[in-house]
Structure 1
Amino acid sequence: MIRWIFGMLFGMLLLILVMFGQLLYNTNEDKGNQESVEKPEYHLQIIVQNTDEYFWSFFKEGAKAAEREYGVYVEFVPVSRKDAGVIKEAVEKGINAGVDGIAFQPADTKQTQDILAEAKKQGIGLLTYENDSFNIPNTPMVGSSSYNIGTMAGNMAVNATNGKSNVVVVMNEAGEQGDVLYRNLLIQGIMESFSKYGTINIRDIFTLNKDMFEAERVTSSIISDVKNVDLIICLDERSTPAVAQVLVDNNMVGDVKIIGYGFMPQTLDYIKRGVIYGTVCPNSYEIGYYTVKQLTQSLKGEQISDYTPTEVYSIDAKNVNQYNNVLK
């Protein structure tokens, strides 16, 4: 009996020693990890939009991957919308805080130039991303081409309809002059794809404002007011599933095909079900990664490109499963 009690006590003591040793190991490991984060070479801020679009989720993943690779600290600063005044205020806060570099999406030219002048005085590096709408001199840019996005969407539309269709384009409303240029580049890309076919044309262009259920309202107007429409190109990520749902509700799946934008889970599900033909996506992970990489290299005094193009890819029934696996 006594021997059994001593055996139990010895076992408990051994277990306590093992647990204590593991605790010391974890503490030292955490301390080492903490030190690597606390001593970054540069402090970077990236101004991002505070939305539920999957673009931003993968953008941040790419930026964090580059953060680990290049030994910098990346801080994401969310803004409520892409507005020139809101973005300027966010960037100015970063300048006043003394960060080393800031990346953002411009929403105009004039206020962005004011930001550039102030950052230059303070010796702070700036970079813009996903921006081919505003000409910002002497500032590197990372991102996809709006023209290429339009061309790819147009090519998918041709494939979906064998080059014979009446097309309606749905896109965000134009605000600043740069937004108009962005829309024009998209439409130019689509028209370039259609130019080889005399039997496919754009019947109308509908614009979306930021109101809730706007996509549903616009889609209902299209199917009731536009005669013989048989394909919709929707160039807004959040609105693409909403457009598809209206067609489902009106039993028009197959009668009107959809080319969408982005890769929200609902969009991919509609592609699998045959409601949406396909979708066009900028590689947001790559955009986030190269945003941090290029800004870090410029701060080190290394030569970088004025423009770093990133991939645009398409998803349809043939490859949708591989992207579904990525999102799980």
Structure 2
Amino acid sequence: MKKKHYVVLLSAMILLILAITSFIYYSINTALASVDQNAGIIVPDKEPVYHFAMICENVDDPFWLSIKKGVEKASKEFNVAVEFNGPGISNMDEQWKYLDMAIASRVDGIVTYVWDEDQAGELINKGVKKDIPVVTIGRDAKASMRTAFVGMNAYSSGVQLGRMALAATGDEGDVAVLIGKNQVGGTMLQNLMISGIKDAFKIHDRIDFSIIEYDDLNFLGIEDTIKDLLTNRPELDTIVCTTASDTIAVAQRLIDLNKVGYNIIGYGDSPELLRYIDSEVVFGTVTANHEQMGYDAIRALMDIKEKGRTSAYFTVETRLITKANVDEYLKPGED
């Protein structure tokens, strides 16, 4: 009887130990997976030949999430690991820290967003002097020792935004163009885009348009701006947005206010924005091929590592998406 009791007790202890071991194993693996996810480490299927780092402006912005898809494609094709790092909001100090850390880690190559040409250029030169090739993306640091620049033609994108607004208004209307007045490092790029919009409008004297600045460091900045526009501009019929995040915020705000009769001209191609176009909440969007930007940035680093040279500039195509062609961009399950 005692022997039987002992066997039962021993079996129970073994089961308990196995359960505890399984729990610990699961917890460790979950934690490791979480670390990889938070760190944004993109790894290929095989042992990587190089270890690159990408420093972005805002890891949660649709613009950078699209770029990340291109990086993932390049990671598999070229068999490289890529650390995808950056703050959750635009923050110069955080971007400086991530770029400096990548240099200190002696990675094989760096792709970086330029938040400030002088400050970022100083770090870029520091990395290149340590034999780390650096590619700039989205915004350039021409005076630095960077290897290549990957981006869009901001002026051309502005012209396309203006032309789409004209198509929406029928060459006659009241248009507000929204820009954030605190966009980190974005003055030159923003000015080029605004110049393109103005040039698209300049021969249409029946278009009344204005540039509206809002505080993009204030969470409620764009919402308050939209409310003020709707209150003080009764003739307003078209709103032009110059960033992907602004487009989503404007569309959501107008839905919340039950004011969906306005023409919203957006920027970007996130799944959420494409759904807004499909449901005709947003008239249309102008977007660069951001996935191609991510892919080309890694390709430029590979050219340098494998061939010792690469193109100095990679400019991606601009796309116009409206209700007429949005089905070409919607993926299964997103319509």
Please give the TM-score of this superposition, normalised by the length of structure 1: 0.81
Read off the aligned partner of 1:325 and give its amino acid letter. Answer: K
State the alpha-carbon separation in 2 of the partners of residues 122 and 249 from structure 1: 52
Structure 1 runs (4+) deviating above 6 angstroms are none
Please give the TM-score of this superposition, normalised by the length of structure 2: 0.79
Match of 1:193 in 2: 200
Aligned length: 291
Match of 2:126 in 1: 118
State the alpha-carbon separation in 2 of the partners of residues 93 and 49 from structure 1: 15
Q: CA RMSD in A?
A: 2.3
State the alpha-carbon separation in 2 of the partners of residues 46 and 285 from structure 1: 14
- Aligned partners of 2:152 and 2:317 also within 8 Å: yes
2:294 is equivalent to residue 288 of structure 1 = yes
- Aligned partners of 2:124 and 2:145 also within 8 Å: no
2:316 is equivalent to residue 310 of structure 1 = yes
Sort the Cα spacing of 1:289 and 1:272 in 2 relative to 1 into closer, same or farther, 3 A: same
Q: How many angstroms does 1:299 deviate by? A: 2.4
Could you list the runs of 5+ residues in structure 1 that have no partner in the other structure?
1-33
State the alpha-carbon separation in 2 of the partners of residues 123 and 83 from structure 1: 27
CA displacement, residues 224-277 of structure 1 (integer Å, 9 cap, x when unaligned): 1235222110122223233223334445433x3110122233322222222211
Out of 157, 172, 185, the position equivalent to 1:164 is 172
Read off the aligned partner of 1:104 and give its amino acid letter. Answer: T
- Aligned partners of 1:156 and 1:278 also within 8 Å: yes
Q: How many angstroms does 1:301 deviate by? A: 3.9
What fraction of aligned residue pairs are identical, expressed as a percent?
30
Sort the Cα spacing of 1:323 and 1:104 in 2 relative to 1 into closer, same or farther, 3 A: same
- Aligned partners of 1:235 and 1:260 also within 8 Å: yes
Q: How many angstroms does 1:136 deviate by? A: 3.7
- Aligned partners of 1:265 and 1:327 also within 8 Å: no
Match of 1:211 in 2: 218
State the alpha-carbon separation in 2 of the partners of residues 50 and 186 from structure 1: 20
CA displacement, residues 204-230 of structure 1 (integer Å, 9 cap, x when unaligned): 423241333432211111111235222
Match of 2:24 in 1: none
- Aligned partners of 2:150 and 2:315 also within 8 Å: yes
- Aligned partners of 1:170 and 1:208 also within 8 Å: no
Match of 2:187 in 1: 180
Sort the Cα spacing of 1:179 and 1:35 in 2 relative to 1 into closer, same or farther, 3 A: closer
State the alpha-carbon separation in 1 of the partners of residues 44 and 230 from structure 2: 59
- Aligned partners of 2:68 and 2:294 also within 8 Å: yes
Match of 1:253 in 2: 260
Give the match's secondary structure for 1:325. Answer: coil
Could you list the runs of 5+ residues in structure 2 that have no partner in the other structure?
1-42
- Aligned partners of 1:150 and 1:189 also within 8 Å: yes
State the alpha-carbon separation in 1 of the partners of residues 305 and 333 from structure 2: 34
Give the match's secondary structure for 2:142. Answer: coil
